[in-house]
Amino acid sequence: MEFVNSAQAAAIIGVSDQTFLNWIKKGRVDGVLRVGRVWLIPRSSLDNIEPPKQGRPRKKKVETLPPPESKNGRSQEENGR
């Protein structure tokens, strides 16, 4: 079984070292070993990790309501306001 350290694994997946360490601490990475101050990750477990989506999520579109009608039954735009 081939192992890589956390910095190498982060480079393979395309995330920062700190992000990958956070994933280890949250349990998102399987088969991790800690030897002293070094995290060793089996190379085979990197295949199961999905790279994060890039960019900011899009905002959901909100439907706009028609303009309110005035007392005479016409919209404010029709009244010239």
Instruction: For 22-79, write each residue's pLDDT tens digit.
Output: 999 999 899 999 999 999 999 999 988 887 777 888 888 888 877 777 666 665 566 5
DSSP string, 33-73: EEETTEEEEEGGGGGGPPPPPPSPPPPPP-PPPPPPB-TTS
The pLDDT assigned to 77 comes to 60
In a domain, 68, yes or no: no
The pLDDT assigned to 78 comes to 60
The pLDDT assigned to 51 comes to 76
The pLDDT assigned to 71 comes to 67
In a domain, 27, yes or no: yes
The pLDDT assigned to 67 comes to 72
In a domain, 14, yes or no: yes
The pLDDT assigned to 81 comes to 56
DSSP state of 10: H
Containing structural domain, residue 24: 3-48
pLDDT higher than 60, residue 19: yes
Please compute Rg for the chain using Cα positions: 27
The pTM assigned to this predicted structure is 0.62
In a domain, 64, yes or no: no
Domain count, the chain: 1
In a domain, 60, yes or no: no
CB 36 within 8 A of CB 51: no
Question: Encoding tokens for residue 9?
Answer: 């694994």
